[in-house]
Structure 1
Amino acid sequence: MFRRVACAGLCALLVVVCDSDWAADQGSSQATATAAAPAVTPAAMPAYGLKPGKPYKGETVKIMAVNTPQFVALQMRTQQFTDVTGINVKWLFVPFKPLQEKVTSVGVAANGNVDIVNYLDQWGASYAHWLLPLDPLVKRDNFDLSDFPAPFLQSITHGGKLYGMPMRSNVQMFLYRKDVFDALNIKPPSTWQDVINAGPKIRAAYPDMAPLACYYGADGNRQNLFAWADFVRGAGGAILDAKGYPAWTSAKAMKATQEYVALYTKHNLCGPGATSNVEQDARISFQQGHAAMLPIWQWSYSAVTNPKDSTLKPAQVGFAPMPAYKAGDAPTTVVNTMPMSISMYSKHQNASWEFLKWLANPELDKRNAIEREVNGYSVRNNVVNRWSSMQDSQVNAANSNVPAAEVKALKGHAQPMPEVVYWPEVADLASVAINQAVTGADVDAVMTDAASQAHRVVERELR
């Protein structure tokens, strides 16, 4: 199964995380929960279902997480948790690109040196054999999950069991240059045809600006599949069928794939480098004023309006739900989460669960999206995980009502990418095929070939 395949590719690169790795990790940055924090007495902290009496006092929980301002801000608050529980917390921050390898190595090592891991939901099914199901703990402590949108929970549920807490939950959003659209009297696009129609007008008026920031690159992170999934699902097709086999060669799905590729090959909407660009490249192009539209996750609004990183001011950037496949349809939206999950090899499972309960509490979810400075650390974060946070007036006031727009998207056709153990391997095949298509290969041929290879992968895994 996938564990065998993953080990074959990674055993040579295995990084066994031990205490020394927390002090220095190549390509990573460390931060521990001992950073200065405002004095908070236990009596001042709400309970959030934490066990009284500090039963796990003195234990240390170690977390491996993606390096993002949202989590750095949470780390800067963690001393408050230690004050209440007596549990120490150490964070290891890893850049996204090597994250899958690093988290996989935790499961392969099976030594308990990392207690909590953070990862992209699409990898989760392949990790489930070494992650701790949370359902017994949720039931034992009567932890209420009803405030989390169902698509977020769906993304971390495998075989009917919940394997994590949604901690970095994202919904696709369509960003556009509001000043450009206003100048050209163009309405925000509600369909992909609207996007196509806007292209020639933008090119004529702004020759140095691409209408759309595209990212068709296949770098192993499969980012070129998200908008593709919107096209396929919006057209009434499917990526995998009910049995888990590739379904993207159906007539509807194939037509949608051709139209996704045609944004570049036929309609000339994309800027330079589109065939090799990944998500970050497209976002930087947009925030530097080189593109007028950008399909991306909602968290990017903070980045593209941050004066430290962007040439754009908030008044220049509009946002809307992802365009619908055709007029009259609701947008089809991919969601993803980067959950926090407990390793079954952890020697501090109960202490780790206490930390997850605190980390996921509704007050902290809101505060981390409102407060722009935490212990001297400047942060811009609009990622929230709960319905209550997305509808909170203060959260929306601090984040230009982006969270409220998430609610609309989540109540439409919102779902994660396929959550099956072999998805990373199958997704790589689809990702490479799409990249080949935009660089001149026959769309039907490369997608059919990828589906044939993916079929063999599924056959192997389902034996």
Structure 2
Amino acid sequence: MYGRIARAALCASLIAVGNVGTAAELPASATMPPYGLKAGKPYNGQTIKVMAVNTPQFIALQMRTQQFTDATGIIVKWLWVPFKSLQEKVTSVGVAANGNVDIVNYLDQWGASYTHWLQPLDPLIRQDSFDLADYPPAFLQSVTQSGKLYGMPVRSNVQMFLYRKDIFDALHLKAPRTWQDMIDAGPKIRAAYPDVAPLACYYGADGNRQNLFMWADFVRGAGGRILDERGYPAWTSPEAMKATREYVGLYSKDNLCGPGATSNVEQDARIAFQQGRAAMLPIWQWAYAAVTNPKDSTLKPEQVGFAPMPAYRSGDPPTTIVNTMPMSISMYSKHKEASWEYLKWLANPDLDKRNAIERNVNGFAVRNNVVNRWSSLRDPQVNAANSHVQSAEAEALQGKAAPMPEVVYWPEVADLASVAINQAVSGGDVDALMKDASERAHHVVQRELR
């Protein structure tokens, strides 16, 4: 649908606490720093610390930071954390309340529980006339709590549908536009390729709640809701229950999934696709590089296609889940103003584009397709460098794109739904399990909202 995915090598992560790299060639002025940075280096000599997940995208940003230091005199130290440990590490920053870390990076779904120790950015945005109009509303929604913006979306992801283009071409199939298209393709794929599962499924409940993303697409697409307007579970409505039975039925009824689907998590499904054991994979857009990386994948770029996530009904836009990993300033930071200067620099539109186009940053080989702004999603150079994956993102974002619920109790409530879905796929009664999970979740919400 958007052409073949270009060759993309997933870079090996650097392991260490980083400091700053060499200067990136971004616009600068002898009299006025770019991107709204304050003139005169008022924070010269201050050092700020950034705690962030270890990704090639962020390593490339860190290696460009010397240009920011040259313009402002602010020194930046990055503290790298694996994703598995990130929630614990970021939470400990708020608990310690000592200001040893100035900027934190986290998954948006954790953000509601951090608002009591994160600095609202709205006053700073007004002060510097920082324009938010270039950000898709779904990305901003993911970092907004009670009408206040608590972070800048710097790692924004949109669901994408990857498929084996060679198999689809051989069977004269088109990229699915609806979930029913995907289901209908299953028997044809199984008949022609008995060793290939039609769909790489991941229903495992390992605490990361990954089995809820596609479920939410089904529920929202069917006209249901995850939580109601008061914040209580709404997934037992007739529309939501029908959609949940259909989601579970991909495994139990439609026979789309391969071995291990009931325990697989996202990484397992991606590996199955990379190894040629599955023909379709719903996942985040960043994964296209991994599934065509010759170091890890048996697939060649010309074998892989991508499209927006399918819609629930023909003619409907897709109901796409987004997530962001924002950067936020700790309220306990002793360098809030200097930290805001760095957030402005990280969020600037030139850097957003360059970090998705340039494949070598001061000696560091990087493949990154993550961008955060409409201007980058629609930029011809960005799309040319990434096989037009951003065009598919932009189409999805113009539909019913939204993050998962952004409430403080969501992780606890989501765990209940995640386990119930896993038990249903493993042979349990779908309706009974989801109703029981809803009742338990109702008590969680009631406790939190007292």
TM tier, smaller: over 0.9
1:7 is aligned to: none
2: distance between equivalents of 1:308 and 1:392?
A: 29
The alpha-carbon deviation at position 308 of structure 1 amounts to 2.7
**Structure 1 counterpart SS, 2:135:** coil
Does 2:445 correspond to 1:454? Answer: no
2:388 is aligned to: 401
Q: Deviations over 1:412-452 (max 9, x none)?
A: 11111111111111011111111111111111111111101
**Structure 1 counterpart SS, 2:328:** strand
What is the one-letter code of the residue matched to 1:260? Y
1:35 is aligned to: 21
Task: Give unmatched runs, 5+ long, in structure 1.
Answer: 1-26
RMSD value, Cα: 1.6
2: distance between equivalents of 1:139 and 1:40?
A: 25
2:4 is aligned to: none
Give the 5 Å matches for 1:186-197.
186-197=173-184
1: distance between equivalents of 2:170 and 2:187?
A: 14
2:288 to 283, 293, 301: 301
1:148 is aligned to: 135
The alpha-carbon deviation at position 40 of structure 1 amounts to 7.8
**Structure 2 counterpart SS, 1:93:** strand
**341-350 or 306-315, which moves further after superposition?**
306-315
The alpha-carbon deviation at position 283 of structure 1 amounts to 1.0
What is the one-letter code of the residue matched to 2:199? L
Conservation of the 8 A alpha-carbon contact between 1:50 and 1:357 = yes
1:375 is aligned to: 362
1: distance between equivalents of 2:25 and 2:312?
A: 52
**Structure 1 counterpart SS, 2:116:** helix
Q: TM-score, normalised by structure 1?
A: 0.92
**Structure 1 counterpart SS, 2:157:** strand
What is the one-letter code of the residue matched to 1:32? G
1:160 to 129, 138, 147: 147
2:156 is aligned to: 169
1:434 is aligned to: 421
1:15 is aligned to: none
2:336 is aligned to: 349
Does 2:192 correspond to 1:179? Answer: no
Conservation of the 8 A alpha-carbon contact between 2:107 and 2:324 = yes
The alpha-carbon deviation at position 303 of structure 1 amounts to 1.7
The alpha-carbon deviation at position 311 of structure 1 amounts to 1.9
Give the 5 Å matches for 1:223-262.
223-262=210-249
Does 2:311 correspond to 1:324? Answer: yes
Give the 5 Å matches for 1:1-400.
29-37=15-23, 43=29, 47-400=34-387
2: distance between equivalents of 1:394 and 1:191?
A: 30
1: distance between equivalents of 2:356 and 2:24?
A: 18
2: distance between equivalents of 1:356 and 1:405?
A: 27
What is the one-letter code of the residue matched to 1:30? A
The alpha-carbon deviation at position 92 of structure 1 amounts to 1.2
The alpha-carbon deviation at position 167 of structure 1 amounts to 0.5
1:14 is aligned to: none
2: distance between equivalents of 1:116 and 1:166?
A: 13
- Say if 1:39 and 1:321 are closer, same or farther in 2 by CA, change over 3 A: closer
1: distance between equivalents of 2:109 and 2:326?
A: 11
Task: Give unmatched runs, 5+ long, in structure 2.
Answer: 1-12
The alpha-carbon deviation at position 307 of structure 1 amounts to 2.3
Conservation of the 8 A alpha-carbon contact between 1:29 and 1:92 = no
2: distance between equivalents of 1:308 and 1:412?
A: 35
2: distance between equivalents of 1:201 and 1:219?
A: 32
The alpha-carbon deviation at position 321 of structure 1 amounts to 1.1
2: distance between equivalents of 1:158 and 1:149?
A: 17
Q: Deviations over 1:253-305 (max 9, x none)?
A: 01100100011111111111111111111111111211100001111112212
Conservation of the 8 A alpha-carbon contact between 2:161 and 2:280 = yes
The alpha-carbon deviation at position 42 of structure 1 amounts to 5.5
- Say if 1:39 and 1:226 are closer, same or farther in 2 by CA, change over 3 A: closer
Q: Deviations over 1:337-393 (max 9, x none)?
A: 110000001111001000000000000000000011111111111000000000000
The alpha-carbon deviation at position 99 of structure 1 amounts to 1.0
What is the one-letter code of the residue matched to 1:224? N
**Which structure shows the bigger proportion of residues in helix conformation?**
1
Conservation of the 8 A alpha-carbon contact between 1:295 and 1:322 = yes
Conservation of the 8 A alpha-carbon contact between 2:122 and 2:148 = yes
2:432 is aligned to: 445
- Say if 1:272 and 1:299 are closer, same or farther in 2 by CA, change over 3 A: same
2: distance between equivalents of 1:204 and 1:291?
A: 14
Conservation of the 8 A alpha-carbon contact between 1:40 and 1:83 = no
Aligned positions, number: 437
What is the one-letter code of the residue matched to 2:339? S
